[in-house]
């Protein structure tokens, strides 16, 4: 799984990730460590990252918030914005929420 995941990241034009991980099983709603690793690898490979976050009350890790290209808040209009997002241009957008 590791080799397959990393190979696909190296080949990707962009990454779309979900920040919330098993909210019902994770009261702190921390990002999955594997997802965080994959985002770090993508960032290190200069691959643009679009991040979707569903929990409107959850802050975002500082390292993740600074490493992403575009942020989509699904508790607002983020999914509509993601559907309309131009991945050819990859205009930057930053999260408007607290970071930790």
**Helices in the chain by DSSP H: which ranges?**
2-11, 33-44, 62-67, 78-84
| 38 contact partners, CB below 8 Å, separation of at least 6 | 5, 9, 15, 17
Q: What is the pLDDT of residues 20-79, one digit of tens each?
A: 866 666 666 678 889 999 999 999 999 999 999 998 888 888 999 999 999 999 999 999
In the structure, what pLDDT confidence band is assigned to residue 98 with cuts at 50, 70 and 90?
A: confident
Confidence (pTM): 0.90
83, HSE (Cβ side, Cα atoms, 13 Å) = 5
| 74 contact partners, CB below 8 Å, separation of at least 6 | 52, 53, 54
Mean pLDDT of the region 74-87: 96
Predicted confidence (pLDDT) at residue 82 exceeds the cutoff of 70: yes
């Amino acid at each position: 799984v590791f080799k397959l995941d990393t190979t696909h990241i190296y080949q990707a034009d962009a990454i779309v990730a979900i920040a919330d991980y098993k909210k019902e099983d994770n009261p702190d709603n921390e990002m999955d460590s594997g997802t965080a690793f994959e985002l770090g690898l993508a960032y290190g490979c200069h691959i643009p990252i679009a991040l979707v976050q569903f929990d409107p009350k959850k802050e975002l890790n500082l390292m993740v918030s600074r490493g992403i290209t575009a942020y989509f808040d699904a508790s607002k209009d983020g999914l509509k914005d993601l559907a309309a997002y131009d991945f050819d241009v990859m205009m930057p957008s930053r999260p408007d929420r607290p970071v930790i």
